[in-house]
Amino acid sequence: MKWKDYFCNRMALILCIETATNNCSVALAKDGVCICTYNHPLANVHAAELHGMVEKILQETELNLSKIDAVAISKGPGSYTGLRVGVSAAKGFSYALGIPLIAINTLCSLTVIAQQQKPDPKALFIPMIDARRMEVYCAVLNAKMEFIQETSALIIEENNFLNLNPGQAVYFFGNGAEKCSVILEQANIHFLPNIFCCASGLTQLAEEAYQQKDFVNLAYFEPYYLKDFIGTQAKNKFF
């Protein structure tokens, strides 16, 4: 079957870009389903590799940019440089093609990937992105993708998660979760390996945003750097 036949009588075609961590990743999604993706796991190559990866996806699917309905970007938190590269590229595509830009919280897209591995309707999910030293960017979400604790930056300490319900499964994941694995030993806490930020995690959330017309303003949108946390510790019932 030709790729072009696949797209007949279907809905939104969204280009997804993920550059918030070391992994530079792009994906093409149709109706919230990832149909093609490329990943480049090496650090500091985002600016050099990103546009070439988009070109590879278009060649693979026998499409051109004029067929894209929207661009979705992983907005952060994450690497300052990586986010700037990704957002700049996403804005460029959106502006040049005259299509909307969708911004997705990076921790939410990471949680989508974890839930595909552990579809537990009663669990809590705690995505973590390495913020260097003993700091992480994190949040707490339930299985419905609702925030129990909003995105924040956290200095990892032994008493961070003492108030977690011991009867509820809690999943930690992402490239910052390893920092907790050496100090958290409760029976209900589980660490999910090999879950990292990639553009395929954006597809479902991007489709939902597209259908709701939840777009960002191209002129004013900036990455979610989460820089105001420095020297502070999140205050909530979990941490």
pLDDT digits (tens, 9 = 90+) for 34-69: 999 999 988 778 998 999 999 999 999 999 999 999
Q: pLDDT at position 143, please?
A: 96
**Other Cβ atoms closer than 10 A to 148:** 14
Q: pLDDT at position 43, please?
A: 75
pLDDT at 24 over 60: yes
Q: Record the tokens describing residue 25, joined without a space.
A: 């990743």
Alpha carbon distances (Å) from 172 to 107, 143, 211, 215, 237: 12, 13, 30, 30, 17
pTM comes to 0.89
Q: pLDDT at position 236, please?
A: 55
Q: Which of 72-76, 102-106, 224-228 has the lowest mean pLDDT?
A: 224-228
Q: Record the tokens describing residue 134, joined without a space.
A: 């003993």
Average pLDDT score over residue span 225-235: 55
Average pLDDT score over residue span 99-119: 97
Average pLDDT score over residue span 72-101: 96
Please provide the average confidence, as pLDDT, over all residues in the chain. 89
Average pLDDT score over residue span 109-115: 97
| Domains in the chain: ranges and CATH | 3-105+197-211 (3.30.420.40), 107-191 (3.30.420.200)
Q: pLDDT at position 157, please?
A: 87
The per-residue pLDDT for range 30-39, each reduced to its tens digit, is 999 999 999 9
92's CB contacts (< 8 A; 6+ apart) are none
Give the β-pairing of 24-30 and 135-142.
unpaired
Q: Measured between alpha carbons, how far is 127 from 111 in angstroms, rounded to an integer? A: 6
pLDDT at 160 over 90: no
175's CB contacts (< 8 A; 6+ apart) are 21, 22, 128, 129, 130, 196, 197
pLDDT at 6 over 50: no
Q: pLDDT at position 41, please?
A: 82
Q: Record the tokens describing residue 49, joined without a space.
A: 């590799």
Q: Measured between alpha carbons, how far is 177 from 16 in angstroms, rounded to an integer? A: 25
Q: Record the tokens describing residue 87, joined without a space.
A: 């957002």
